[in-house]
Chain A
Amino acid sequence: MKLRRPAPAQHSETIIALIDVVLFLLIFFMLIGRMDATAPFEVTPPLATTGSDMPAGGATLAIAADGALALDGQALDRAMLDSRLAALLAEDPDLRLRVNAHRAAELRHVLPLVGAAEAMGFRDVVLVVTPADQP
């Protein structure tokens, strides 16, 4: 009687399924993640129930609780901010400016910047908020 060793199983099918799943997950995480530069300080946006969905795109101006500023993740002072905003506006006149102010930031640090951006020619300035449940 002759006994034969079984032929080694082909593993190619299982590896292809694994690659499919991993690629799918990779593309999923790359697509749903918005690559935003985070500010070099802590910013917790205020809570609001009437905010609307924020589409991607635009420049983000972060304002810390003590009034420190950062544009697209880069810390800068008030004098530099104007020139940087003017340069951004010259590149794209319809640029959206997202003002991401800490909820404890005093309005004297926030509102003059919104006014300055409007005077500079920004036509779309939004305040970033965290969605809250209806009371």
Chain B
Amino acid sequence: MNAPFSPATAATAQASAPVAAARTGIATALLRHPLLRPLAALAILLLIDLVCIPGFFRLEIKDGHLYGSVIDIANRAAPLMLAALGMTLVIATRGIDISVGAVVAISGTVAAMLIGGTMVVNHGVPEYVSRIPMAWALAAAMGAALLCGAWNGLLVATLGLQPIIATLILMVAGRGLAQLLTDGQIVTVYYKPYFFIGSGYLFGLPFALYLVAAVFLVVAVMMRKTALGLFIQAVGINPVAARLAGLKTAALIFFVYVFCSACAGLAGLMISANIKSADANNAGLLLELDAILAVTLGGTSLAGGKFSLAGSVIGALIIQTLTYTIYSLGVPPEVNMVVKSVVVFLVCLSQSAEFKKVWQRMRARKS
């Protein structure tokens, strides 16, 4: 969704200097690029880190793994990035999915329960045995997440319930169902291969980042190279017009909710593999809110329509960097919430057309 090269501004530049005109054209195009604001926010945060935290950008290689604060931030942001990717499409259709945290709990619980795992000592060598083959367990967990998504999609697309209330049902009941499965206990996993999803390394980088990159690439290609992205945007801009234009709006809306839950399910696997257990009560708590925040920070309007997948990923990185910065600066972590809310207020205001008008009026009065 690049901002179009603006011929109007190029024309106002001096015609006798085409090179300069092209340069200002590129400059305005860059200035108007929708990713500018989120990237600038991230850059400012990183700059603060560079100045205030010694050795922030230092990377080290230990046992063939890349270590460093930047890698750590990206790794910890992985579940949030996934959830934000799914949420982006939902928000693009004017919807909202507040059941993300519950789906995280459900998929993590299903995987952890099916794998379980015990340590068996064979001839003095500890071996990890899973209850059922891991592939099946992962498939079942993703299946559960897809079911959740289908449920949300059914309520929103077929029954026409308001998205926030339709997903509120699963948000309330989902954690209850996950607790029902585990009988209220925290399920611990003793099975090494499973941990790889959450804390493994591949070619020196955390494996979770590859998963995020894969999901991002698949979705980006689907949105850019097929008409799907355009259709989703059309539904968000005007659902009735999109339907009258012949789009299968219900099917599209159904799809985005299933996709969002699939992302949440994968995030759930990551979280439970990382903490080596499934906590139906606390896994992914408030993740939906952070995901919505990431999407908003990334420049996607909650009113639907135009969306930016890359923006949402950057938004997730901003949130995680903010958290990291606050922790490293020695500010009490509780302040995090206040800072987060102030950031959201500022971002929302900067997106508001009314605020711009007021701002311009104030500037005009000054001059």
**Are A and B co-members of a single complex?**
no
Task: Mark A residues whose CB is within 8 Å of B.
Answer: none
Task: Mark B residues whose CB is within 8 Å of A.
Answer: none
